[in-house]
Amino acid sequence: MNYDYNTQRKRMALPEYGRNVQKMADHIKTIKDRNERNRAARTLIQIMGNLNPHLRDEGDFKHKLWDHLALIADFELDIDSPYPPPERGKFAEKPNEIPYRQGDIKFLHYGGIIEIMIDAACKLEDGPEKEYLTNLIVNQMKKSYVTWNRNQVTDEIIISDLNQLSGGRLKITEGVKILEIRELLPQPRKKQQQGKTHGKQQNKQYGKKKGHNRH
């Protein structure tokens, strides 16, 4: 008995369309009549669109489907496409490298985003906007500190770290209070015992009635 395993089948260029779409594309390549081949290709495009309705939100929806069909057919489909066929070489190109921010993070528990926010706040002119952003930063610093260290932290430590990270350019506005930990982190919900207690009482009453019926 011969078994048909996926590991033994032809590799699919776009697995998200499924094996049946791959088989239909391969079959279209074997159709000799060009008009029949074009009609089968248009039918397959409709099927591919129904399988991926999220692509309809994109402006080049139809164009993308025809490009996908060319890719599924390994660029061997001789049809009258409404769009110019894509170049094989474009699909073999490596993606552009993402430029990562260089330099060491001084406090890992704060992360690089906090340092970026601090640099942005330092560039602002003195005023309400700078004060507001500084207050947001110190509260986020306190939240991050507790999240990663799992212990209490004093406001003096947060202010000292802010001073070090900003080079003394950011100051906490006088009178501004840093939020408490319970205000920064979500508190665990208490389990509701009322339903269980009510259920136990019903069971006790039911047990009494049941015992009464026995006598």
- Give the pLDDT band of residue 215 (cuts 50, 70, 90): very low
Q: Does 74 share its domain with 16?
A: yes
Model confidence at 211: pLDDT above 60:
no
At residue 111, the pLDDT reads: 84
Q: Does 86 share its domain with 116?
A: no
Q: Which residue, of 92, 127, 159, is where some domain finishes?
A: 92
Residue range of the domain that includes 161:
111-184
At residue 194, the pLDDT reads: 54
Q: Percentage of residues in the chain with pLDDT exceeding 90?
A: 33
Model confidence at 105: pLDDT above 70:
yes
At residue 88, the pLDDT reads: 80
Model confidence at 6: pLDDT above 70:
no
Q: Which residue, of 29, 57, 92, is where some domain finishes?
A: 92
Q: Does residue 74 form part of some domain?
A: yes
Flag whether the pTM goes above 0.85.
Answer: no
Q: Does residue 201 form part of some domain?
A: no
Q: Does 87 share its domain with 12?
A: yes
Model confidence at 78: pLDDT above 70:
yes
Model confidence at 207: pLDDT above 60:
no
Model confidence at 154: pLDDT above 90:
no
Separation between Cα atoms, residue 41 and residue 72, nearest integer Å: 12
pLDDT digits (tens, 9 = 90+) for 113-138: 899 999 999 999 999 999 999 999 99
Across the chain, mean pLDDT equals: 80
User: Domain tally for the chain?
Assistant: 2
Q: Does 30 share its domain with 88?
A: yes
At residue 39, the pLDDT reads: 95
Q: Does residue 139 form part of some domain?
A: yes
45-59, 114-128, 172-186, 200-214 — most confident range: 114-128
Q: Does 33 share its domain with 61?
A: yes
Q: Does residue 22 form part of some domain?
A: yes
Q: Does residue 75 form part of some domain?
A: yes
Higher pLDDT, residue 174 or 30? 30
Q: Which amino acid is at 112?
A: G
Higher pLDDT, residue 122 or 111? 122
Q: Which residue, of 39, 58, 92, is where some domain finishes?
A: 92
Give backbone dihedrals phi and psi of 185, rounded to 5 degrees, phi first. -110, 145
